[in-house]
Amino acid sequence: MATKNEIIYSIMDKLSPHLTDDNEISIREISFEIDNVRALFLRNELNKNRTIDSNIIQDLGCVEMEISDTAECCEVSSGCKIIRTKLEIPTAIELHNSTALTRVGPVDKMEQDYSFISSTRAKFTGNGKYNQNNIYAFLHNKKIYLVSKNDKLKFIKYINIAGVFENPEDVGLFSSCSGETCYTFNSKYPINSWMINHITDAVYNKFITTLNIPLDKTNDGDSVDLNPNK
């Protein structure tokens, strides 16, 4: 599987013959477009209700939690506490009826995931006879919150979060248990191998269009059918 650096330099090699001192394209620009095209392709795929392949999922490892006041105001306190992630969570790809978070649960992957709900439902959950011990998770202001009447909630220091994120580099803010960064440009780029050529072609054609150079229609990544099983 290719890394982000390998994809960038593959596109750079294709663009090099067309570049001059007056129309240079930076690595940062190419990297930005790669992520944009990837997000678009994956959003289109996942909205067809296809299974989420493990190759496109990124794991944030052990995500640290903190206690916060529910008011979330600088100088006002409600006196009520809630547990939430210490860091903001990378933005997951938004689908028609859900978000592309694939897991919010205990650090132990063998334990049951938390029930993921909307922030508007959070205040009404856990009041039934049979769900008082359930732990619910919701996303608010880019952080994951946990709510429950279960006493175990107060002892949760870390949780595990995984998903398909819009910008893979945002995962680099998180670390594995060994202290290694969860993502760098030399990590496996979170995409299926069959999509790499399509992304490369789409990004290349975008920059070629910007340079006012005729497109090569032989492998047009912008009009490709993204279902390889057809």
With b meaning 16 or more CB within 10 Å and e meaning fewer, what string describes 29-46? ebbebbbbbbbebbbebb
Per-residue confidence (pLDDT) for residue 206, from 0 to 100: 92
Residues 114-140 have a mean pLDDT of 83
pLDDT at position 177: 61
Cα 162 to its chain centre, rounded Å, is 8
Comparing C-alpha atoms, which of 55, 63, 43, 93 is closest to residue 187?
55
d(CA 131, CA 119): 17
pLDDT on residue 203: 96
pLDDT digits (tens, 9 = 90+) for 35-51: 999 999 999 999 998 88
Q: Give the pLDDT confidence score for residue 230 in this predicted structure.
A: 42
The whole-angstrom separation of Cα 170 and Cα 134 is 30
Q: Residues 65-98: pLDDT tens digits?
A: 999 887 766 555 555 788 999 999 999 999 988 8
The answer to whether 86 and 64 are in contact (CB under 8 A) is: yes
217 vs 204, higher pLDDT: 204
Rounded Cα distance between 12 and 45, Å, is: 27
The pTM for the full model equals 0.83
Q: State the amino acid at position 193 in one-letter form.
A: S
Helix (H) / strand (E) containing 95:
none
Distance CA 63, CA 177 (A): 10
The pLDDT score that the predictor gives to residue 176 is: 67
Q: Note the pLDDT of residue 224.
A: 40
Rounded distance between C-alpha atoms, residue 196 and residue 208, angstroms: 18
In the predicted structure, residue 14 carries a pLDDT above the cut 50: yes
Determine the residue type at 204. Y
User: Mean pLDDT across the chain, nearest whole number?
Assistant: 85
